[in-house]
Structure 1
Amino acid sequence: MPHFNSTQIQLASRPEGWPTHENFQTVQATHGDLLEGQVRVRNEFISVDPYMRGRMDDVRSYVAPYALGETITGGAIGRVIESAAHDVPVGAVVLHQHGWADAVQADAGTFTVVPEVPGLPLSLRLHILGMTGLTAYVGLTTIAGLREGDTVFVSGAAGAVGTAVGQIAKLLGAKRVIGSAGSDEKVALLTQKYGYDAAFNYKDGDIRGQLAQAAPDGIDVYFDNVGGDHLEAALAVFNDGGRAALCGAISSYNATEPSPGPDNMANIITRALTLQGFTLASYLHLAPEFSEKMTAWFAAGRIAYDETIVDGFENTVDAFLDMMRGANTGKMLVRV
């Protein structure tokens, strides 16, 4: 069996503040003969995500940091082109976490075979039908305990997770859903396409005032993708017994100095609030439940989505940097 070549993007140095091209390196790898139980996969789509920035720092987190000189791992989907594994045949579509490479050779057990549905883009498995959608579902149901009639606020609402959160909240009975985004165009998209009842542009300033105006009766649930001043604004308008699902803190990912905490933390006590951070690894057992619901919603035409797709593996770093600066609407992906 001939040797197999792939192109991979590695972390070359740890960013200080905003990442730059100099923090990455592109390398060529030659793989040996395909061993029993291994497969070769040609990637079709690669995911770039905010959490990857945190893994570029050598600090304690919920998952080990990226090692220097090793490939950036993360979500990707591709097709098996050679197989020495009886249960993963040539032509199968597979999800995996081998990340930023145009092709992969690895044990079949590190891939998940997914059905190929006619008319359904493979890319959706990397967001609304995959981990992104599951993150939204888990945060709303298991972490925040969404109840029918709740008012929900979502920060970073025009991103991949945020667009899923708003729709799922309404489908599960939320009375009012409010979102923040970083441009007037995204604000319009939230209300016109994704079912948000109100939205505001956080770049206009006075986030606390804008949220108070959008939520005159307060909020019951906060789904936090941003942290910082957005969390402070949510604490100001929470109703008694409010719940927050803390999913991300993108406002501080590139900070070089510690960010000051909210000035109204006492509201957690006086309003009996519950703030819980979460990562998805502890809730993967909910994937079948989510998949059943999302598949039904999708089939009924009740789910909208956006993708920002960058063509060419060589543009992966650009896609990541653009995503970190908010250039995407919905999920940012690289089409290999």
Structure 2
Amino acid sequence: MLKYVLNRVKSSLVILLVVSMITFFVLMIIPGNPAQLILGTDATAEAIEDLRIAMGLDRPYYQQYLGWLLDLLKFDLGTSYIYGEAVTSLIIRAIPVTFSIAVFAMLIATITALFFGILSAVKKDSIIDYFSRSIMQLGTAIPSFWIGMVFIVYFGLRLKWFPISGFVPISSSFAGFLKSIALPAIVLAIGETGTLLRIVRSSMLDSLKQDYMDAARIKGLNKWKIYMKYALRGALIAPVTIIGMQFAKLAGGTVVVETIFALPGIGRLVLTAVERRDIVLLQGLVMFITTTVIFITLMVDLLIMTINPRIKSVERGE
């Protein structure tokens, strides 16, 4: 296990290095002058050039990259052109928003997908199976921005059950916190449930056909014990992988939903950085999102190895 983790860490560092190079040089060649964006269109050419030199943008690209990389190793992501704050501070402030929505969305999606996916497999070709298939199609077909707008109009403006914008920190009010993330989390969960439910159903159907299921039935075990203890455990590998991928995607920023609900999360920061060409902020966000995805992927791999011990033997070459 330790050797596997060390190998993954080494490969992750290589990936981060490659991503840092691509991110830096691609963003640097994008047309536009950050100094002019900061000072505005009314600034003189001399003022723009002075600021450009002060920002180090007159140096060769490789020198700028090496300096940025050294700062990155010290966890210094630079200072945002637009906000005038440390990028690290901006990301830390946005993390609770995005991660809260991502966690609650995946909880809703996972519980829903497991419940209907297991019932759909066990009761194949029944009414519950057809209903589950409908959920799959709706979840993957309906755009999240449309669902978000419908929820805002109906649950926010008409029924006034939930706020339609803003984020309330959990330290301020737990009830307010739940209300502020409820609609965005449900909107995201609807989009993720369809794919996850399909994986749970197909994995469960495959598990029910295995030989060990026949052995469990021969022993006379309770059918739901067979389903939950044996079939589900054998069917969890693919769903856990998908859950990890989905959570990594959501944790990396949910631009559309955060924009619709005016939430100050990672997605909104990415959108602002792109619109205003805040290179330093965008570079920091890309590295943060990449690191988050790599870390979550590693945790998922370790969890899968725990669920299915046979994978450990494969990793050791046994």
Q: Same fold (TM over 0.5)?
A: no
As a proportion of its length, which structure holds more helix?
A: 2
TM-score range, shorter-chain basis? Answer: under 0.3
As a proportion of its length, which structure holds more strand?
A: 1
Name which one, 1 or 2, has greater alpha-carbon Rg: 2
Structure ranking higher on relative contact order (CA contacts 8 Å, 6+ apart): 2
